[in-house]
Amino acid sequence: MKARLVPLFFKGKDADFDTQLDNLKTLLEGEAQILDPVPLGGPLPPAEAVLFPQLLGEAYRRLEDFKAIDVPILVATSEFGMLNMWDWEIVSYLRTEGLNVVAPYRLDHTKRACKGLGVKRELKQTKFLVFQDNPGEGMQGEIFKRFYW
């Protein structure tokens, strides 16, 4: 199951944003479904994470909008599908403010993060069925049964 990623953009959205987004769609086509872009602060569709293909200095002034995001924030700002080196300051600032920011420094890490987000969604929709003749059988089975039942 592919992770659903919502690209977010700042007011200064430009052609570089669109170019990077198209690039990420190609690089992550096997791992992520990249949805239509939404402005930072706008309502988010159901997704496993938001994606920032471009970070701007405006991020420092939009902290409250970042804090309103209730899913992980994935930053992939380089043409190689990972974090651009000059974006580490913004990422560090957001993390210092307690935000869940994923900023991979290799493409395979970005792909792995997307796969993990997809699995997380799949597991939320999965039921596990366990068959045990005697639950808690073992060294201290009576303790397990006391809490389990």
Confidence of residue 139 (pLDDT cuts 50, 70, 90): low
**Can you list the alpha helix ranges (DSSP code H) found in 97-148?**
107-124, 141-148
Q: What is the pLDDT of residues 100-137, one digit of tens each?
A: 999 999 999 999 999 999 988 888 777 766 555 565 56
- Exposed / middle / buried, residue 134 (Cβ in 10 Å: 0-12, 13-18, 19+): exposed
* Closest C-alpha among 34, 40, 93 to residue 69: 40
Options 3.90.330.10, 3.40.50.20, 3.40.50.10740, 3.40.50.2300; CATH of 3-124:
3.40.50.2300
* Whether the Cβ atoms of residue 31 and residue 3 lie closer than 8 Å to each other: yes
| Mean pLDDT of all residues in 62-77 | 96
